[in-house]
Structure 1
């Protein structure tokens, strides 16, 4: 196993089977296939189980390399730019974790059921987000190997900045609408409550 110690891995890379390894920092187990994956970029390292442990599996960790910026984790608030809106979900590039900008590319997905807390079945993704919108969202979990599941289901979460078709920064006028200051045109969005 010594040769494995300094193996460089990236998010989504398979580290091993959950039956043989425990996931430590920088790693997670996929419930679908009981496989341990890397959740960040860095070097794979194995720690033998503590003496007297009932669990014989070593713990696998991914230790970040020096240029490593912040990493989205469940429970943290992120700022992301919407890149694509589909019928059931929107995808976004995560730009900041808390106040810190990220140095790597992290993708987030906002599913229809995670847009707002009420009337979930009536959510229209195209009336909630548009490509280019800047959203404040909560990280729910690392979804599949390549994207984080994000939620905007709290009042203070949602679109914080959006550009109108005329190219102006729109002003929020309600929970669900933003207005272009140039044309007066109103567009629908899932708006984040200001001042949060």
Structure 2
């Protein structure tokens, strides 16, 4: 999944790039607006016959959907999560019993249609399950790596983050700042240093 960027992922300082398609500017950072691959176009150069100097601007950075083979194009719209699939999802809402998420990547492939999944409180982690609280594990907007453990009911897939490599991989603080993991249960704001609790995925 390292070949893909996800919505909300910072790509670099705004001062170093010209934003193209699939990105936006937030807090002086270029941020991915969709799931895809980063494409950087070198700055254009111009020269004249009377001068050997050239002028250039910053490179243009964009995010584009991954190119699909004809076979993948034919099946992408019907790509479905299956038991044991590793998915990327965005948390959309939470309550005391579960977190609801929108699945947009299945086994390193962007799905044609987003699917809904739930992470129940008993499926957040392996240890001390009785102490798990959804509100300190996830927040709406978090990007989570999870495993499909059941096809669930007609509207939801059941997901689990009960493994070291599963959990929150990207999150913003309450003030909207990008955070980075400092341990398995805490993330820290890159700007303010404020610490918030999450069920953090171990970085690859």
Normalising by the residue count of structure 2, what TM-score does the alignment of the two structures yield? 0.62
2:123 paired with 1:119: no
Offset, 1:158: 0.2
Three-state SS of the structure 1 residue aligned to 2:158 is: strand
Partner of 2:118 in structure 1? 109
CA contact (8 A) 2:76 2:111 kept: no
Offset, 1:86: 0.5
Question: Unmatched 5+ residue regions in structure 1?
Answer: 1-64
Deviations, residues 128-160 of structure 1 (Å, cap 9, x unaligned): 000000000000111111000000000000000
Partner of 2:148 in structure 1? 139
Question: CA 1:94–1:66 in structure 2 vs 1: closer, same or farther (change >3 Å)?
Answer: closer
Offset, 1:165: 2.0
| Superposition pairs of residues 174-185 of structure 1, within 5 angstroms | 174-185=183-194
The CA RMSD over aligned residues, in Å, is: 1.2
State how far apart, in whole Å, the 2-side matches of 1:94 and 1:152 are: 14
Partner of 1:152 in structure 2? 161
Question: CA 1:177–1:146 in structure 2 vs 1: closer, same or farther (change >3 Å)?
Answer: same
Partner of 1:77 in structure 2? 86
State how far apart, in whole Å, the 2-side matches of 1:88 and 1:165 are: 22
Offset, 1:103: 1.0
| Structure 1 stretches of at least 4 aligned residues deviating more than 3 Å after TM superposition | none
State how far apart, in whole Å, the 2-side matches of 1:67 and 1:157 are: 24
Offset, 1:99: 1.0
State how far apart, in whole Å, the 2-side matches of 1:128 and 1:82 are: 11
Three-state SS of the structure 1 residue aligned to 2:122 is: helix
Normalising by the residue count of structure 1, what TM-score does the alignment of the two structures yield? 0.65
Kindly tell me the number of residue pairs found equivalent between the two proteins.
131
Three-state SS of the structure 2 residue aligned to 1:72 is: coil
Question: CA 1:184–1:144 in structure 2 vs 1: closer, same or farther (change >3 Å)?
Answer: same
State how far apart, in whole Å, the 2-side matches of 1:77 and 1:69 are: 17
